[in-house]
Amino acid sequence: MRAFKTFSLASGLVMNQGKSEIYCNGVEEHVMAMMIRISGMHRGKIPFKYLGVNISPKRLGVNDCQCLIDKVTTRIRSLGARKLSYAGRLEVSLAWHRYQGESTLVAWEHICKPKKKGGLGLRNQIGGI
């Protein structure tokens, strides 16, 4: 609890004890009861959900995380062209294509060509060129 208080003082964030839970394995029952009493938290049970993803002792698969992937995808798409610079949109686009498994390499010279000539219109500043 001292660590939580120190973190709270440093960050300005405060733990919501009503929403917080303690998860322990291999802890004696009387120790667990004391931790619950001192912290004011509840004892959590596994499996539980965090950010919509089931957390369990078993290894998670892609299907288990699909709701999180969908949320991130929706958030990226909602950024809109106005809110990102051209370089930012380019980076998001490249990251998205890598995620989709479309990691086709393109020569830097081609990327630096004007858009009218099939490039991305980036300035070539590598090596003083």
pLDDT tens digits for range 17-53 = 888 899 888 889 999 999 999 988 989 988 888 877 7
Decide if 97 is inside a domain.
yes
Residue 56 belongs to some domain of the structure: no
pTM of the predicted model over 0.85: no
Structural domains counted in the chain? 2
Do the domain assignments include residue 69?
A: no
Provide the domain limits for residue 100. 79-128
Q: What are phi and psi of 43, to 5 degrees?
A: -85, 125
Q: Which residues contact 53 (CB under 8 A, 6 or more apart)?
A: 60, 64, 65, 67, 68
Rounded CA separation 67/48 (Å): 15
35 within some domain:
yes
Quickly tell me which residue has 């051209």 as its tokens. 86
Round the CA-based radius of gyration of the chain to a whole number and report it.
24
pLDDT tens, position by position, 48-83 = 888 777 888 888 788 888 888 888 878 777 766 556
- Show the DSSP H helices in the chain as ranges: 2-11, 29-39, 62-78, 80-83, 86-99, 108-111
Q: Is residue 67 assigned to a domain? A: no
